[in-house]
Amino acid sequence: MEYLYAPWRDVYFNNKDKNFCPFCHCKHELNEDEKLGVIFRTKECFGIMNKYPYSPGHFMIIPYEHLENIEDLSDKTWLEISHFVRIGVKILKENFHASGVNIGMNLGSAAGAGIAPHCHYHLIPRWQGDTNFITTIGQTRVCGSDLEKVYTTLCKAFKDYV
């Protein structure tokens, strides 16, 4: 049996302060959006760059409420998050020329959620042939884009919708 490792995720799994939620931290640090990678803020949710992106442009949409289960979200929150997921897909296709987009939620640690207590959506742009085998065989993640430019592009694109 082969084992694949993602040691960069260790910071989430072994955080000594089990009550610390990086998403709630971002929710409260309103003057630190650029430093934290917050792309946009709306009434019910916010968008943020993924700290360890699977591809350039990978970001998340997160409700302000610290809830693990999506079934506990209010309809208003769920609808707003869903609305911005659709906009996010459009932005990734138009501004990054993504050939496809993976969207999804890992609900619970058993489903692979690194930050299980606070539900969130991932939007991951994909391009034909971008399987990036170096991650699998070289234990290295290659990001061929300047993440500051990616952040700036996402922020500018979302300004038309927020």
Alpha helix (H) ranges present in the chain? 10-13, 22-28, 33-36, 75-96, 133-138, 147-159
Query: Cβ-count burial of 24 within 10 angstroms (0-12 exposed, 13-18 middle, 19+ buried)?
Result: middle
Check residue 34 and give its pLDDT.
92
Give residue limits of the domains in the chain.
21-159
**pTM of the predicted model as reported, rounded to 2 decimal places:** 0.79
Asked whether 65 and 111 are in contact (CB, 8 A), the reply is no
Check residue 142 and give its pLDDT.
60
Cα–Cα distance, 157 to 151 (Å, whole number) = 10
CATH of 21-159, picked from 3.30.429.10, 3.30.1540.20, 3.30.428.10, 3.40.630.10, is 3.30.428.10
Known catalytic residues?
Answer: 120
Phi, psi of 97 (to 5 degrees): 55, 35
Given pLDDT bands bounded at 50, 70 and 90, which one contains residue 124?
A: very high
Check residue 74 and give its pLDDT.
97
Phi, psi of 111 (to 5 degrees): -90, 0
Asked whether 50 and 62 are in contact (CB, 8 A), the reply is no
Asked whether 26 and 38 are in contact (CB, 8 A), the reply is yes
Please name the residue that has the structure tokens 């501004």. Answer: 95
Given pLDDT bands bounded at 50, 70 and 90, which one contains residue 15?
A: low
Cα–Cα distance, 51 to 44 (Å, whole number) = 22
Asked whether 40 and 160 are in contact (CB, 8 A), the reply is no
Check residue 7 and give its pLDDT.
58
| Measured CA distances, 97 to 21, 40, 70, 80, 83 (Å) | 32, 21, 30, 25, 20
Mean pLDDT, range 19-33, rounded to an integer: 89
Mean pLDDT, range 136-157, rounded to an integer: 73
Check residue 141 and give its pLDDT.
56
Strand order in the sheet with 45-49: 38-41, 45-49, 59-63, 121-126, 100-104
Mean pLDDT, range 100-128, rounded to an integer: 88
